[in-house]
Amino acid sequence: MHKKITKRDVKRNLTWYSFILVTLVALIVLVYFPTFKTFYFSTTNMGTFGTDYEMIGLRNYKTLLSSASFLKALGNTMLLALYGLLTIPLGFLLANAINGLGRTKLQGFFRVMFYMPNIITGVSVVLIFQYVLKGNGGLLNQFFSQIIGREVTIGWITDPSMSHVGATIIWIWMNLGYSMLLNLASLQSIPTEIYDAASVDGATALKRMIYITIPQMKSCFAFLFVTGMINGLARFTDLYILGGNACAGRPNGTLQTILMYIYQYSFESPRYGLSSAGAVILFFIVFVMTIFNVKLSGFMKGGD
Amino acid sequence: MEKKKLTKAKRRRLLTAVILAAILAVILIPLWWAITLSFDANAITELPAFSWLPKEASMKNYKYATEMIDLVRYYTNTLFVALVNTAISVFFALLCGYAFAKGRFFGKKFWYFFMLAVMMIPFESRMIPLYLQYSSWGMINTYWPLILGNVAYVYGIFFASQNISALPDSLRESACLDGAGEWKIFFRIILPLCKPVMAALSILQIVAQWNSYLWPMVVIRSSKKQLLSVGVSLFNAQENSIYYGPRMAVAVLSAVPLIIAFLCMQKYIVQSVAVSGIKQ
């Protein structure tokens, strides 16, 4: 029964471990250890680095969950992430139209051009959209003014009641291409025989869409749903810059996300204990989402 | 009859193409407008009405922008960090990918899960301790915090191991019989076969690195070492809502390399995103 460990086995193991060792050490030191520390900090009243602190149990969580500003940030983040999911149906429609062109050069052109905004989602896009969404003379308002023949001055990112719309416009602009691309890849992987059989049976285009295409796209939608939620929950850069490089989430806190809240209490007015508790809450939300991802879409690849 | 049907399908295709072109125009107009503004000499203290071309074309905004911020330095810094990080992350991803795809060693399953589980931990939720850790190592305001974490590019490891496990075992076996060790096999046989994987991961990494914002802002303090994304946003926050043209000049200058790189390699980029599902 007892399996003898030979010298060769040891050598083989050592060789393979030499491939993964650096990465494993980095994972322990730079990922797992700090993550546990976040959990630990979240149970302390740590202020800034180097000051004394003690364990205070779950009091930080209590503070957060009864704090109107944290709940508002949590709500904003959830809502904005949900609105951002509009990219899924829009991307699906776009992908269908592009797919309808057949595998031509034109299809390739549209595929690439619609995807392009996704590449430049850096700071420059935010700078540009500052002026697109500007209340006074912004591009979008100029456009609406032309249409209705009257000056329009909607503060897409300055009016608290419109700011979610403005923020969603930017998000869709940045992410539509990605959704289109994955939808298109998924559409094109549906075996054509299914459609052939259906047209023999005389199914209309609409029926084919409802009974064949959409069920076949389920794993793609699930993947986009979960990744979209995860990315949306971690939203920071664009809203931080739109708010004038501040975490307050101007206007009136309507654009403050969880991450901005955490940043505010980590680097603007440090209360590490509190911001760690916020980070743990973010962790749990993303954790649950990822479990969904694994269950729903068969790990990472949309099930294919 | 046959012919008429064909033209009908053709007409529908044409209509689709026209509609798609219109939507595309709407999406791309902000970019066009930004370029126009950046060349418009009047776009300093007031925002001009939309026009397809600048009313008074000049390079004034670009001159102003490059005087205001040290774009060349930001560029060099960003390029350096992005290239180093991409090389490191892809190389280590391939190493681990190979070990997990073809290796036989104790605890393999455990370590694989250990690695993939990291996908469930958002980076931001470990940011504070990580920052404190680097600061106790005296590494704040150096590039180390930006670089070191890249030896564990988990999405890359997953993608690489999936691709490598699809390679036939016979290649490895024959090399083994010739007495080659695993490292030799990796460099001589696996790496050359992994060129498409390498290309895909490199492209995704470069874009991600170019756009990364929060972490560089946290760990880089001196403006001399700052990266393009943070440097540009600082410029944006400096002035109060004027200097429209110069800001657009900065936006254009910081986006141009990515757009050019994208247009040159669009086929590979689009392919790698579609296949891997990795966003950035």
Cα separation, A22 vs B11, whole angstroms: 59
pTM of the model: 0.87
Q: In terms of CA atoms, which chain A residue is nearest residue B234?
A: A245
With CB atoms and an 8 Å threshold, state whether A124 touches B92: no
Residue by residue, pLDDT tens for chain A (304 residues) are 466 778 888 888 899 999 999 999 999 999 999 999 999 999 988 887 767 788 888 889 999 999 889 999 999 999 999 999 999 999 999 999 999 888 888 898 999 899 888 888 778 888 889 888 888 878 888 888 888 888 888 888 888 888 999 999 999 999 999 999 989 988 888 888 877 777 777 778 788 888 888 888 888 888 888 888 888 998 998 899 888 888 887 788 889 999 999 999 888 888 889 999 999 999 999 888 878 777 766 554 433 3
With CB atoms and an 8 Å threshold, state whether B99 touches A19: yes
Other Cβ atoms within 10 Å of A24 Cβ, number? 17
Q: Which of A28-32, B88-92, B139-143, B182-186 has the lowest mean pLDDT?
A: B182-186
Residues of A in contact with B112 (CB under 8 A): none
Cα–chain center distance at A253:
20
Q: Residues 6 or more apart from B145 whose CB is under 8 A from it?
A: B130, B131, B134, B139, B215, B219
Cα separation, A50 vs B224, whole angstroms: 27
How far is residue A194 from each of residues A206, B157, B260, measured CA to CA in Å?
A: 15, 35, 40
- DSSP code of residue B190: I
**Torsion over CA: A61, A64, A65, A67 (sign):** positive
pLDDT for position B70: 85
Residues of B in contact with A292 (CB under 8 A): none
Residues of B in contact with A121 (CB under 8 A): 211
**Amino acid letter, B20:** L
With CB atoms and an 8 Å threshold, state whether A97 touches B19: yes
pLDDT for position B241: 55
pLDDT for position A302: 38
Residues of A in contact with B148 (CB under 8 A): 26, 30
Structure tokens at A163: 């700011």
Cα–chain center distance at A80:
10
With CB atoms and an 8 Å threshold, state whether B207 touches A237: no
Cα separation, A1 vs A16, whole angstroms: 26
With CB atoms and an 8 Å threshold, state whether A15 touches B183: yes
Please, are residues B177 and A58 in contact by the beta-carbon 8 Å criterion?
no
Please, are residues B105 and B99 in contact by the beta-carbon 8 Å criterion?
yes
Cα separation, B154 vs B201, whole angstroms: 11
With CB atoms and an 8 Å threshold, state whether A16 touches B182: yes
Closest among B31, B29, B26 to B259, alpha carbons compared: B31
What ipTM goes with this model? Answer: 0.85
Closest among B242, B245, B241, B254 to B54, alpha carbons compared: B245
Read off φ and ψ for residue A38, nearest 5 degrees. Answer: -60, -45
Please, are residues B65 and B246 in contact by the beta-carbon 8 Å criterion?
yes
Structure tokens at A128: 């540009």
Residues of B in contact with A13 (CB under 8 A): 105-106
Structure tokens at A65: 């969950």
Chain B, 87 to 116: residues with Cβ < 8 Å from chain A are 92, 95-96, 98-100, 103-106, 108, 111, 114-115
Beta-bridge mates of residue A55? A44
SS3 for A191-249, per residue? CHHHHHHHHHCCCCHHHHHHHHHHHHCHHHHHHHHHHHHHHHHCCCHHHHHHCCCCCCC
| pLDDT tops 90 at residue B91 | yes
Buried b (16+ CB within 10 A) or exposed e, A254-265: bbbbbbbbbbbb
| pLDDT tops 50 at residue B1 | no
Q: In terms of CA atoms, which chain B residue is nearest residue A261?
A: B124
With CB atoms and an 8 Å threshold, state whether B251 touches A13: no
Cα separation, A125 vs A281, whole angstroms: 30
Residues of A in contact with B24 (CB under 8 A): 110, 113-114
Q: In terms of CA atoms, which chain B residue is nearest residue A23?
A: B152
With CB atoms and an 8 Å threshold, state whether B124 touches A234: yes
- The greatest distance separating any two alpha carbons of chain B, rounded to the nearest whole angstrom, comes to 80
pLDDT for position A97: 93
A134–B contact, CB cutoff 8 A:
yes
Structure tokens at A119: 């590449």
Coil/strand/helix, residue B29: helix
Cα separation, B99 vs A252, whole angstroms: 52
Q: In terms of CA atoms, which chain B residue is nearest residue A139?
A: B50
User: Which pLDDT band holds residue B5 (cuts at 50, 70, 90)?
Assistant: low
Closest among A217, A191, A230, A178 to A297, alpha carbons compared: A217
Structure tokens at B201: 């991961």
With CB atoms and an 8 Å threshold, state whether A286 touches B181: no
Other Cβ atoms within 10 Å of A77 Cβ, number? 25
How far is residue B2 from each of residues A13, A16, A202, B5, B9, measured CA to CA in Å?
A: 68, 64, 19, 5, 11
**Could you read off the pLDDT of B112-159 as tens digits, one per residue?**
999 988 887 888 889 989 999 999 999 999 999 999 999 999 989 988
Cα separation, A183 vs B137, whole angstroms: 45
Chain B, 55 to 84: residues with Cβ < 8 Å from chain A are none
Chain B, 134 to 193: residues with Cβ < 8 Å from chain A are 135, 148-149, 151-152, 157-158, 181-183, 186
Q: Residues 6 or more apart from A201 whose CB is under 8 A from it?
A: none
Helix (H) or strand (E) holding A64: helix A59-65
Residues of B in contact with A98 (CB under 8 A): 20
Please, are residues A20 and B111 in contact by the beta-carbon 8 Å criterion?
yes
Looking up tokens 């609406």 gives A144
A248–B contact, CB cutoff 8 A:
no
pLDDT for position A86: 96
A145–B contact, CB cutoff 8 A:
no
**Could you read off the pLDDT of B46-68 as tens digits, one per residue?**
777 777 888 777 888 888 888 88
Cα separation, B52 vs B135, whole angstroms: 50
| pLDDT tops 60 at residue B223 | yes
With CB atoms and an 8 Å threshold, state whether B236 touches A123: yes
With CB atoms and an 8 Å threshold, state whether A237 touches B213: yes
- Cis bond leading into A160, ω under 30°? no
- Quote the minimal CA–CA distance from A42 to chain B in Å: 11
A260–B contact, CB cutoff 8 A:
no
Count of CB pairs separated by less than 8 Å, A with B: 263
Cα separation, A161 vs A176, whole angstroms: 24
With CB atoms and an 8 Å threshold, state whether B13 touches A244: no
Closest among B214, B209, B213 to B124, alpha carbons compared: B214
A86–B contact, CB cutoff 8 A:
no
Nearest to A286 among B24, B122, B251 (CB): B122
Task: Work out the angle at residue B58's Cα, subtended by the Cα atoms of residues B53 and B61, and round it to the nearest 5 degrees.
Answer: 105
